[in-house]
Amino acid sequence: MVQKCPFCLGNLSTSIPYPGQTDTVRRPAFRQIGICDCCGGGQAFPAPLQQDLDRFYSGGEYWHAAGSHSQLAHAASQAQIRLTACLPYLDSNMPMSVADVGAGHGFIGRELARSGLIISRYDCVEPDEAAIAHATTFRLPFPFRNVSTIEELESGFNLFFLNQVIEHVADPLPLLEQIISRARPGAIVYVETPNSDYNFKSDVFPHTLFYSPRAFEFLGNRLSLETLRCEKFGLWPAPRHTLHGLLQRLASRAVMASSWLGPSLAPDSFDRLIWRYNSIGLSSCIWLRWIFRIPGNRV
């Protein structure tokens, strides 16, 4: 039987082996990735049920705090780039309530505090309590709280961040509908996910869905969303034997050195040299960002 694409409902006519070992007792056992011949999106098979994924994530095997200096610099740099991408679509004169789904260490909160935007509240969804505890060190000048699931979020948000989450679910539509139901009309939503990472990773576990710009286009149309921006960005670090690879290795060491030399080395800047976030639209880009607006006339 031909499987249907979860994004455009086309045929998943191409099948490739699922990169990575997934057949342990407590892990979902993915064998193949079906790729759509219409939108280029993909789905892991055997297709999981959402309750099985919820059970896996709630068991604590996947969640872990990544707190090395280089990882924190990477997270801080990513947060700055995510908020910067949203700024052209935000009204700086309007008080804003923000929900950060997949908040990690909460660096979005720090960037919001630095941005000059009027923030009325900052709510996070982050099951890793060790990671989100880092956000308390920022002394944010607005109300901040963390919950474990989207269902625990209240409503009325102007701005959503959905970072590295949408590839972990069984079906993207219920997740996006949950976001829409908790947003104000006209709210901005930033979604970030790997760009079909089976093309450049040897292990993509536990990713269940694989996105393309066309896949996001179809999702937006199905939900009557206004797409503001949808693009590939960022590059995998260059090979060690190249000049750029050498510069990236030096940048990585500078990030580590800044842990004892102080903030003057600007580790965020070195992180950008490593990951080349300003590379946009290339076939080799490793991330996707989709920014959309919630319809202003929804009931």
The whole-number pLDDT of residue 252 equals 63
Given a contact cutoff of 8 angstroms between Cβ atoms, the answer to whether 2 and 13 are in contact is yes
Give the relative orientation of helices 267-275 and 69-86 as an angle to the nearest 10 degrees.
80
Residues 42-51, mean pLDDT to the nearest whole number: 93
**Which residue in 160, 285, 282 sits closest to 234, CA to CA?**
285
Which pLDDT score is estimated for 253? 63
Domains of the chain in sequence order:
69-235+277-293 (3.40.50.150), 243-275 (no CATH)
Tens digits of residue pLDDT in 57-114: 877 667 665 556 677 888 888 999 999 999 999 999 999 999 999 999 999 999 999 9
Average pLDDT over residues 15-26: 76
- Closest by alpha carbon to 224, among 293, 272, 271, 289? 293
Q: What percent of the chain has pLDDT over 90?
A: 69
Whether the ω angle into residue 46 lies within 30 degrees of 0, i.e. cis, is yes
> Band of the pLDDT at 200, cuts 50, 70, 90?
very high
**Per-residue pLDDT tens digits for 151-161:** 999 999 999 99
**pLDDT given at position 65:** 55
pLDDT of residue 265: 44
- Would you tell me how many other CB atoms lie within 10 Å of the CB of residue 85? 18
Counting runs of H as helices and runs of E as strands, what totals does the chain give? 8, 11
Beta bridge partners of 211: 195
Residue-level length of the chain: 299
Strands 32-35 and 42-45: antiparallel
Residue 209 banded pLDDT, cuts 50, 70, 90: very high
